[in-house]
Structure 1
């Protein structure tokens, strides 16, 4: 089944990009396609001017990192061990960590402010802390592109804002490119450099301000309960 078609866009180094849309609009499918986990029905995806299909698994792991919504497979691992998994594309065949690997792990923990949690087991963490650990693992992988599928799922309002602000900070400090899918449209409008809106009959890609001017958010949901207020740039509940 085709979720969306005729999608064409370019994303550059140091951009923070959100993919939004209603349930079933194809956000996660698009993200997984961009990550090479499933093939595109047509067209081509280029990463650093090279077709995605030409990347070996090892080369792709050195070019992009991925944070999915699936639970951690081994919750008995410590935070430091989880983050160390991000160094697998760079370690030798037996997985021995070099001094450079250890530095990358420490730096990732410092950036996400979880150094104090390094010896905690994953099952001991809150959802927000665990998500920070997964972002740290992606940072330790040392790729120019980070893809995240709904990184604020299961988080309270504070941690939703915290995680998105953290990702924006990472983009600004490292000039990495971060692309994420999300239901947090109001927050994405405030924080993103660019957004992709998967509407029912159209796909929009532009800066948040221009998307508002184009009316890209106006028909995203039925207007019986909520509506998009162009002046405030946010969705509001009808009263």
Structure 2
């Protein structure tokens, strides 16, 4: 899987790009957790989401936000990170101009950025939001949420408490024309640390959901 460097708003951004042989393969970007709390593109949840999408036939890009790893710039309270995500999607689309499906997946802080990107890019056809920190960030910009997706979290998450995630999902359920699916992984913490009991069921849920959606979209 090639390491890539592409242009971002504040200089170079470092990523990992995993293309398919098929030129019209669907594309996905995966966004990492908070840069100031150790979040990088090599976070275990991000890494596993990346390979889940690749194994489903997607061409995938994950990358480091500004100021992380070899990416240039400094942390920018989410404003600059949203611009980074838009640049990453531009890069991915420029390399895959025949793709008909575009997904965004994000974990924690990355889920918040991903949902904002969703609002700005109508070509995004689906989203995966893992452990969205609805207790820390305002998600009211999702009015209306432009596409259907999956929200998934652990019942033992102390960083982003389940009750706040449920409140977010309930608000999204009130909107017409989209379907937001919500799944909770029993006993999982914010990082899905237990590989067998938490990480694997989370990734299996994501895979099952995306496969269903892609089948529906290609009918």
What TM-score, normalized by structure 1, do the two folds share?
Answer: 0.27
From the two aligned structures, give the one with the greater strand fraction: 2
The structure having more radius of gyration, on CA atoms, is: 1
